[in-house]
Amino acid sequence: MLYHFLYPLYEYVNAFNVFKYITFRIFGAGLTALFLSFIVGPSFIKILKIKQFEQAIRTDGPSSHFIKKGTPTMGGLLILFCTLFSTLLWADLTNSYIWCAIGIMVGYGLIGFLDDYKKIAQKNSKGISGKTKLFFQIIFALVVAIFLYQNVSISSDLTFPLFKNFVLPLGWFYIPFVVFVIVGTSNAVNLTDGLDGLAIGPVMTVAGTFLLLCYVTGHAKIAQYLQVMFIPRTGELAIFCGAMVTAGLGFLWFSTYPAAVFMGDVGSLALGR
């Protein structure tokens, strides 16, 4: 949003030319998400406690987990809000990659929210059935996969950064491959998530790695120098990843031992996609 409003002003004030650079906007999105999580976090957790959105503890779990009973859940909403707000503020909103990332995050976040809400309403750890959850995960992933496949500017070839000349054309198999990756990583984070910030650490690490990959593949000169495939406009995704990293860092402040809030499925499913 700032990119569209402020960058055109460089014709009158040269300082606004800085909004052209993705590195500057990554830094801006990261700081925005971090400070926003610190500012909004305490009030958000207080609201969760007032509404009694409490984490349901499994009866077959370790006895040490029972002392966590009453800790609010759905803390992932804080991460999603800070990530999405910062992305919308700093990214180029004409970029289709950005809207794909936002769409799949919101879609999977909605599935996780309904799952968490059902657990809270029923006061148990079951939530939505596994089959129902998997069905909607596949539907959301399928929509994104088809959109990407039909976009003529997006290649369906598979490459590996460490193998300079390896290119695997996937063709129509690109669609089930994308669905498998999105659904698989989402559920992997969901299974990893536990008490006291178990999942957010790996999520931040992976998001930071993708930040570098997106920036490199979206920069023609760096991609050519490192002999990796240049993919136009993917650099904007580095802004999304940067916001996710610092939003996760802000959440980690509240979720480390002893956790003041749990991420819940709304966070683990949305961040893992």
Helix (H) or strand (E) holding 57: none
Q: What is the pLDDT of residues 149-198, one digit of tens each?
A: 887 667 788 887 777 778 888 888 999 999 999 999 998 888 887 555 57
pLDDT, one tens digit per residue, over 102-153 is 999 999 999 999 998 888 887 766 778 888 999 999 999 999 999 888 876 6
Q: What percent of the chain has pLDDT over 90?
A: 47
Q: Tell me: is residue 92 an annotated ligand-binding position.
A: no
Q: What is the pLDDT of residue 214?
A: 94
190 belongs to an annotated ligand binding site: yes
DSSP state of 219: -
Long-range interactions of 223-230: CB distance < 8 A, separation 24+: 226/161, 227/164, 228/159, 228/161, 228/164, 229/155, 229/157, 229/159, 229/167
Q: Is the pLDDT of residue 61 over 60?
A: no
pLDDT of residue 56: 61
Mean pLDDT for the stretch of residues 69-78: 82
Instruction: Specify if 53 maps to a domain.
Output: yes
Assigned domain for 48 exists:
yes
- What is the number of domains present in the chain? 1
- Choose between 132 and 59: higher pLDDT: 132
Q: Which residues form the domain of 251?
A: 25-272
Interacting residues of 183 by C-beta distance below 8 A, sequence separation 6+: 134, 137, 138, 141
Quick check: is 12 in a domain? no
> What is the mean pLDDT of the segment spanning 25-48?
94
The DSSP symbol for 127 reads -
* pLDDT above 50: residue 48: yes
Percent of the chain having pLDDT more than 70? 90
Calculate the average pLDDT of the chain: 86
Nearest to 246 by CA among 5, 33, 22, 6: 33
**Per residue in 230-243, pLDDT tens?**
888 999 999 999 99
Between 43 and 59, where is the model more confident? 43
Residue 13 inside a domain? The answer is no
pLDDT at 246: 96
Give the closest residue to 241 by CA, choosing from 123, 43, 102, 41: 102
